[in-house]
Amino acid sequence: MSEIISKAGLRELAKEWIAQGKVVAGPVQTKPGLVMYAKLASADEIVWEGFVRPANSVKEFVFPRHELLCTYKMEGNRVELANDGAEIPAQILLAVRPCDAAAFPILDHVFNWDCRDELYNRRREATTVIALACESHDESCFCTSVGLSPQAERGSDVMLFDLGEEYEVRSLTDKGRALFAGKAQPSERTAPTYMGPDPRFNPEQVKQFVDGQFTSPYWQEATLACLGCGACAYNCPTCHCFDIVDEGNSQHGKRVRNWDSCQFGQFTLHASGHNPRPDQGSRQRQRVLHKFSIYPEKFGEILCTGCGNCTRNCPEGQGMLTLLTGIEHA
């Protein structure tokens, strides 16, 4: 048996959360034709339907594009370091797509591997993820190719399913149950299963190809259109590379970490001027290698949730899907 909540009821609930001082984020109509995840100023801002998925990823709420690590002060030989110690407020990510939610447990591995990343984990613990099952897909979607689906529960604390006037509520964790306790009514109704896109490629084959065909001309051929921006990585739910920089002067300043992308030439540039990944072919190959071979070998799962944001955001219409479906013919 499952539970339901009326759509109006959920909106009221979101208002309550905001009133309690929680950060609530969800898909917002940024401008005509563009929906992005953003912090909600009011519960009415959220858009529930009429789009396939937001243009950005929701990872930003646990792994911000820019984050302060510490501040420093230097005087003679003395160095003083300080954290800003700011509280991380409880946050609720609402109407998240399953392909975004599934990225959280994938990211958890890397931020808890050889050391525990305090900042990431503090945000992650303060976060509750309420996913909304998909009811549409576009030609960029490929969740079913990487073992997920429009109803995938992975990484969500609560799953919502659209029933027309209500949402079916499936609370999956204690965190999720706490949010909906007493707010949802028991019901027999349950949403029909939406199948989503047909599988487009086999990740096992991708792994074999990228492992075995490292020097294949395919990588150069298939990536000629890549211009080397970071639009794919920065809107990817699972890409997590960052750069640590000091901003300030010799007396005081701050150490911050910012997103970085393997598609930038500077990403691997050595101080000597040598660049082991000298062109877009090798950079794109690295992206595939990391997602479909290195990460699975280390952590047992693919570093891709099939959201298709790489394709949607690519100025030249490229992306993982183009590259991976092409492997079959390579």
Partner 1 sequence: MSEASQFEPKIVAYVCNWCTYLGADLAGTTRLEYPANVRIIRLPCTGRIDFNLLIKAFEIGADAVLVSGCHPGDCHYTAGNYHARRRWILFRELLDSLGFDLRRIHFTWISAAEGRKWQEAVTRITEETRKLGPYRELYQKNGFRRPNAPPPPKPPAPAKNNAAAQEQQLRETCARLLSEGTVQVVIGYGVGGPVFVRRAEDAAKLVWNADCQANLTTYLKRKEIKRLGKAAVVVKGCDERGLVILEKESQIDRQTLRVIGMACDGMGQPKCDTCTVHQPRFADEIMGQAGAAPSEATRAGALDALMQLSPAERMSFWAHEFERCVKCYACRQVCPLCYCERCIADKNRPVTIDTSATPKGNFAWHITRAFHLAGRCVGCGECTRACPAGIPLGLLNLSLARAAEKHFGYQAGMDPKAEPLIGTYALTDKEEFIR
**Interface residue list for partner 1 (CB under 8 A):** 30-31, 33-34, 36, 55-56, 65-66, 220, 223-225, 227-231, 233-235, 243, 245, 247, 256, 258-259, 261, 264, 266, 279-281, 313-318, 322
Return the H-helix or E-strand segment holding 23: strand 23-31
CB of 72 to partner 1, least distance (A): 16
Nearer to partner 1, 128 or 261 (CB): 261
Nearer to partner 1, 8 or 34 (CB): 34
Q: How far apart are CA 138 and CA 321, in angstroms?
A: 12
301, burial (CB in 10 Å: exposed 0-12, middle 13-18, buried 19+):
middle
Closest CA to 121 of 88, 85, 155, 82: 88
Side chain identity, residue 213: Q
CB of 140 to partner 1, least distance (A): 10
- Output the 3-class SS for 66-86: EEEEEEEEEECCEEEEECCCC
* Token representation of residue 66: 């820019």
Residues 100/58, Cβ–Cβ less than 8 Å? yes
Nearer to partner 1, 163 or 245 (CB): 245
Closest CA to 80 of 248, 244, 258: 248
Nearer to partner 1, 129 or 256 (CB): 256
CB of 270 to partner 1, least distance (A): 13
Nearer to partner 1, 209 or 259 (CB): 259
Tell me which residue has tokens 């303060």. Answer: 126
CB of 310 to partner 1, least distance (A): 10
Nearer to partner 1, 77 or 266 (CB): 266
Nearer to partner 1, 147 or 253 (CB): 253
Q: How far apart are CA 264 and CA 229, in angstroms?
A: 6
CB of 258 to partner 1, least distance (A): 5
CB of 260 to partner 1, least distance (A): 9
Tell me which residue has tokens 């009429």. Answer: 50
Tell me which residue has tokens 């007493």. Answer: 182
CB of 25 to partner 1, least distance (A): 14
- Other Cβ atoms less than 10 A from the Cβ of 63: the count is 23
